[in-house]
Amino acid sequence: METNFSNLRHSTAHLLAAAVLRLYPEAKLTIGPAIDNGFYYDIEFPTPITDSDLPAIEKMMQKTLDAWDSFTSREVSEEEARKIYQNNPYKLELIDEIVKKGEKITLFKAGMFEDLCRGGHVDNPAKEIEAFKLLSIAGAYWRGDEKNKMLTRIYGTSFPTQQELDLYVQQLEEAKKRDHRRLGQELDLFTFSELVGKGLPLFTPKGTMLRELLNDFSQRLRIKRGYQKVWVPHITKKELYETSGHWTKFGNELFLVTSQETDDKMVMKPMNCPHHQQIYASKQRSYRDLPIKYLETTTIYRDEKAGELMGLSRVRSVTQDDSHAFCTPEQIHEIYQSLIEITKEFYEALDMNFRARLSFRDPQSPEKYLGEDGLWNNAQEIILNIAKENNLDYYVAEGEAAFYGPKIDFMVSDALGREWQLATPQLDFVQPKRFGLTYIDSQGIAQTPVMIHFALMGSIERFLSVYIEHTAGKFPLWLAPVQVQIIPVSEKFTEYAKRVVEALQMAGLRVEVDFSNNTLGAKIREATLQKVPFMCIIGGQEEEKSKDGKLMVSVRARDGKDLGMVTISEFINQIQNDIETKH
């Protein structure tokens, strides 16, 4: 029988909570959900604990598990629930929410431990919870709000077998080596400053080069398919988002801007689509003009909670390689086809595989979405047919749609097998209608255009967090911020090294030179640690064999392979083809 990982891991979270109370009777439990690849439990401890305490908790979990042969549930009244948890303000707050929603209050018990819970457990925990491990401790504000008390979050994971757990732990160790936050510092790509603020990354020259190379590639793919660049400001009147519907949906995530001269209430833009619609709306459009395609790489701003910020994967300044197409219903297929081709070309060049998640609305909660049922059904049918026609590896995910339309989320796999949602082409029948956008059809009748949102990387910051870890910082030659490191054996070859640098730069290559007093071995190690694709070593032999203006260099690849001594022109010819073909 196929394992329900969510039930398994949520059950193990219960086991963690039970063990904690046996070791720390004064601890106050809050929530312990299953998450991707594991679970956590947020707990208020009477005294601080550290990672060194986890083995003892694990041992107690194992001891507790022996008596857990089942989960039983019972429904209790609000009065009884409040009495049980009278000394736990967190559970009382949860009870308030359950009562407000009109839901039943249920408790689940295994062994001697009973917890407030909606359910979702294994049948026989003593037999089914076979392999678990506590992974780490972190601080977490209650409900993710920094105004609330800081709790201790214990992360763990659980698998059906020890073999699966061991493989996962190995993957975690490899992930630590590839952590983009660590590599970002080691490779000098980006930094953060307390004076600037949390979640606001600063990119160094090397990191900026990486961003711009990726963005240039992204934009070229779209420009050759008819997209045109536009530009919009970073602040706007809040009425723009009230009209679009974003204010109601995301108002608490917006940064507000107040003028000192007037009473105008402005916001930092959290998305670009309403602005691009205003460019479309600036003049009357004919069906002959369509499709109209705009693109813009620009930064948007969202007031993410401080406790949820993490490296580049969750920031407050989000740079999107954004684009919007306005078209007739008959042109949807053509535009989606081109966007699928763009996505394939981009991610194949980066050696990343993907599958398509068709993100549709939840049919059980239509009130969460804007627009008429007929429009939604039509849009979802179009997306499903396009996925089939292109033989995409796809699956349908109900409830994952945006509030104004269904979409295809391209789920990209990294080198560790983890899956990330990145590129997103999205149909939108709703926003154009809300803004009154029109075009005149062949019969002279005003019609509402269809809008297709598309971001190839999604967010450059988040994409980089994935891509840095996918490559472990070993970027392909065409993307490497420094493509060639020049290493003179000693300072007496400084002038020769400068001539080599000039020749490579004239060929359009990105070059650095190590003029330090370090030994040759130390210079090679440093270039290797910086993951520079090629090193050109320059010494007496190279200088002696240079004649008739032909500069000689000894080439070494970052994987340690010695490529021998060649002329600088031969070296340039060898690597330029790799750059042009994006190898």
Residue-wise DSSP of 299-342 = EEE----GGG-BTTTB-SEEEEEEEEEEE-GGGHHHHHHHHHHH
Q: Which of 28, 285, 302, 470 is catalytic?
A: 302
Identify which of 556, 519, 525, 553 has the alpha carbon closest to the alpha carbon of residue 539: 553
Q: Which of 121, 153, 324, 470 is catalytic?
A: 324
Cα–Cα distance between 131 and 164 in angstroms, integer? 8
Distances (CA, A) of 549 to 485, 513, 552, 571: 21, 21, 10, 15
Q: Which of 42, 53, 115, 322 is catalytic?
A: 322
- Concatenating the DSSP letter of every residue in 113-174 gives EEEE------S-HHHH--EEEEEEEEEEEGGG-TTS-EEEEEEEEEESSHHHHHHHHHHHHH
Task: Walk across the sheet containing 72-76 and list its strands.
Answer: 72-76, 105-110, 113-116
Strand duo 34-35 + 450-455: pairing: unpaired
Distances (CA, A) of 98 to 53, 107, 118: 33, 12, 10
Q: Do 131 and 121 touch, CB atoms closer than 8 A?
A: no
Q: What is the pTM of this model?
A: 0.83
Identify which of 543, 545, 540, 553 has the alpha carbon closest to the alpha carbon of residue 513: 553
Cα–Cα distance between 533 and 579 in angstroms, integer? 12
327 classed as catalytic: no
Query: Over its length of 583 residues, how does the chain's per-residue pLDDT go in tens digits?
Result: 456 899 999 999 999 999 999 999 999 999 999 998 899 999 999 999 999 999 999 999 999 999 999 999 999 999 999 999 999 999 999 999 999 999 999 999 999 999 999 889 999 999 999 999 999 999 988 988 778 899 999 999 999 999 999 999 998 899 889 999 999 999 999 999 999 999 999 999 999 999 999 999 999 999 999 999 999 999 998 889 888 877 877 777 888 888 777 777 788 999 999 999 999 999 999 999 999 999 999 999 998 877 778 899 999 999 999 999 999 988 998 999 999 999 999 999 999 999 999 999 988 888 888 777 887 888 888 889 989 999 899 999 999 888 778 899 999 999 888 889 999 998 888 889 989 999 999 999 999 999 999 999 999 999 999 999 999 999 999 999 999 999 999 888 999 999 999 999 999 999 999 999 999 999 999 999 999 999 999 998 888 888 777 898 999 999 989 999 999 999 999 899 888 887 6
Q: Which of 53, 211, 316, 320 is catalytic?
A: 320
Largest CA distance in the chain: 95
Q: What is the pLDDT of residue 1?
A: 45
Q: What is the pLDDT of residue 580?
A: 86
Cα–Cα distance between 404 and 382 in angstroms, integer? 16
Q: Do 454 and 426 touch, CB atoms closer than 8 A?
A: yes
Helical spans, DSSP H, in 438-545: 460-471, 494-506, 520-529, 540-545
Cα–Cα distance between 229 and 453 in angstroms, integer? 15
List the domains of the chain with CATH numbers: 5-173 (3.30.980.10), 190-471 (3.30.930.10), 484-580 (3.40.50.800)
Identify which of 382, 277, 401 has the alpha carbon closest to the alpha carbon of residue 332: 382
324 classed as catalytic: yes
Helical spans, DSSP H, in 350-400: 373-389
Q: Which of 361, 453, 470, 531 is catalytic?
A: 453
Q: Do 467 and 189 touch, CB atoms closer than 8 A?
A: no
Specify the DSSP class assigned to residue 89. Answer: H
Q: What is the pLDDT of residue 145?
A: 79
Q: Which of 206, 269, 273, 409 is catalytic?
A: 273
Strand duo 38-44 + 150-159: pairing: antiparallel
Identify which of 401, 390, 459 has the alpha carbon closest to the alpha carbon of residue 427: 401
Q: Which of 407, 470, 523, 558 is catalytic?
A: 407
322 classed as catalytic: yes
Q: Do 27 and 87 touch, CB atoms closer than 8 A?
A: no
Specify the DSSP class assigned to residue 254. Answer: P
Q: What is the pLDDT of residue 2?
A: 55
Distances (CA, A) of 423 to 446, 463, 556: 32, 9, 36
Identify which of 39, 304, 299 has the alpha carbon closest to the alpha carbon of residue 153: 39
Cα–Cα distance between 117 and 31 in angstroms, integer? 9
Which stretch of DSSP H or E encloses residue 574? Answer: helix 568-580
CA atoms within 13 A on the CB side of 583: 7
10 classed as catalytic: no
Identify which of 581, 560, 357, 347 has the alpha carbon closest to the alpha carbon of residue 478: 581
**Neighbouring residues of 23: CB distance < 8 A, sequence distance ≥ 6:** 56, 57, 60
Q: What is the pLDDT of residue 285?
A: 97
Q: Do 20 and 57 touch, CB atoms closer than 8 A?
A: yes
Identify which of 36, 35, 39, 31 has the alpha carbon closest to the alpha carbon of residue 12: 39
302 classed as catalytic: yes
Q: What is the pLDDT of residue 583?
A: 66
